[in-house]
Amino acid sequence: MAIQKVLVTGATGQTGSIVVHKLRERTDRFEVVCFARSAEKAQEKLGSVDGVEIGDVMDRASIDRAIAGCDALVILSSSVLVMKGPPQPGQRPEFEFLPGAYPEDIDYNGQRNLIDAAVAVGVQHIVQVGSMGGTDKNHYLNTLGNGNVLIWKRQAEQYLIDSGIHYTIVRAGGLIDERGGHREILVGKDDSFFIPEQNMPHKLPRADVAEVVVQALLEPNAQNKAFDVVTREEDEALPTSDFAALFAQTTPGL
C-alpha cells in the first residue's frame, strides 16, 4: 500500500507526541511531518527535530510550507489555559488564555487556516481531535477563562465538514495518563456518555486516543464520521482490537 504523508499539528502536546510516536512506528504506512511552535520543545518531546516544521496555526505561510505534499492532516493543536497569577492561600486558582491564544483564535481561526491550507494542496483526509461536551453551551469548560472553548471547537468541526475533505472527528472524553491498549474503546454521539443516572464511562487514556487517530488514517470506514470516544476500565471487558468494527458503529455529521 502507498505510504501516506501526514502532517500532525500540536505534535509536541501530551497527546500529539504519542500520535507522532505511533505513526513513526509504522514506517510501512506513514511519513510524518510534525508542526510545532518550538524547536526546543520538539527536541524534548519527540527526541529530534528531524521531520519537524516550526510554525503557528495563526500563520498561514508556515502552514503552507509544512503541509506541502501531504496526503493527510491530523489536527491536535488546541488553546491552553494558564494560571492567572500565583495561587492565593485558601482560594481556588484562576485561569486565563493569553492574548491572541483564546479558543476563538486557536481552536477556530487557527483550525480554519489548517483546513483551508489542506484544501489548497489537495489533502485527502483530515482527522480532527476535539472534546466531548460540545452539545451543551453551558458546559463548565466554556466558562474557564471566558473562552467558550467547546463552542469554538464545535464551529471548527462544522467548518471541516463543510470543507468537502474526507474527515474524521474524534471527540475525546476526559484524558488520563495511563497505558493504552488494555481497555475496551466505546464510541457514541451527542455526549451520550454524560448520562449520570446510567453511570456511563467518560474517560480514556491518551494512548488510546492516539491509537484511534492512527487507525482512523488506516480504516476507510472511519472517513466522514464524527464521534465521542471513551473507554471502560481495565479488566471490565476485552481490549478493542477490531477498529473496522469500531468505526462501523460511527455516523456522519456533527
By mean pLDDT, which of 15-19, 143-147, 241-245 is the weakest?
Answer: 143-147
Catalytic residue among 17, 77, 79, 131: 131
Cβ-based neighbour number of residue 62 at 10 Å:
18
Question: What pLDDT, on a 0 to 100 scale, did the predictor assign at position 197?
Answer: 64
Question: What pLDDT, on a 0 to 100 scale, did the predictor assign at position 87?
Answer: 73
CA separation for the pair 212, 110 (Å, rounded):
23
Q: Are strands 95-96 and 52-54 parallel, antiparallel or unpaired?
A: unpaired
What cell does 139 get?
A: 458546559
Whether residue 1 has pLDDT greater than 80: no
Question: What pLDDT, on a 0 to 100 scale, did the predictor assign at position 200?
Answer: 80
How does pLDDT run across 92-132, given as a tens digit for each residue?
A: 888 899 999 999 999 999 999 999 999 999 999 999 999 99
Instruction: Give the global pTM.
Output: 0.94
How does pLDDT run across 49-59, given as a tens digit for each residue?
A: 999 999 999 99
Q: Are 34 and 11 in contact (CB under 8 A)?
A: yes
| Domain range 4-78+103-133+150-247, CATH class | alpha beta
Known active-site residue 241: no
Q: Are 121 and 67 in contact (CB under 8 A)?
A: yes
Question: What pLDDT, on a 0 to 100 scale, did the predictor assign at position 105?
Answer: 97
Whether residue 88 has pLDDT greater than 80: no
- Percent of the residues in the chain that have a pLDDT greater than 70, as a whole number: 99
Whether residue 86 has pLDDT greater than 80: no
| Alpha-carbon separation of residue 216 from 39, 54, 193, 248 (angstroms) | 28, 25, 21, 11
CA separation for the pair 174, 178 (Å, rounded):
12
Question: What pLDDT, on a 0 to 100 scale, did the predictor assign at position 85?
Answer: 74
Question: What pLDDT, on a 0 to 100 scale, did the predictor assign at position 196?
Answer: 67
How does pLDDT run across 2-44, given as a tens digit for each residue?
A: 899 999 999 999 999 999 999 999 999 999 999 999 999 999 9
3-state SS string for the chain: CCCEEEEEECCCCHHHHHHHHHHHHCCCCEEEEEEECCHHHHHHHHCCCCCEEECCCCCHHHHHHHHCCCCEEEECCCCCCEECCCCCCCCCCCEECCCCCCHHHHHHHHHHHHHHHHHHHCCCEEEEEEECCCCCCCCHHHHHHHCCHHHHHHHHHHHHHHHCCEEEEEEECEEECCCCCCCCEEEECCCCCCCHHHCCCCEEEHHHHHHHHHHHHHCHHHCCEEEEEEECCCCCCCCCCCHHHHHCCCECCC
The rounded mean pLDDT for the chain is 94
Which residue in this structure is represented by grid cell 464524527? 226
Q: How confident is residue 195, by pLDDT bands cut at 50, 70 and 90?
A: confident
Work out the burial of residue 20: count CB atoms within 10 Å of its CB; fewer than 13 is exposed, 13-18 middle, 19 or more buried: buried
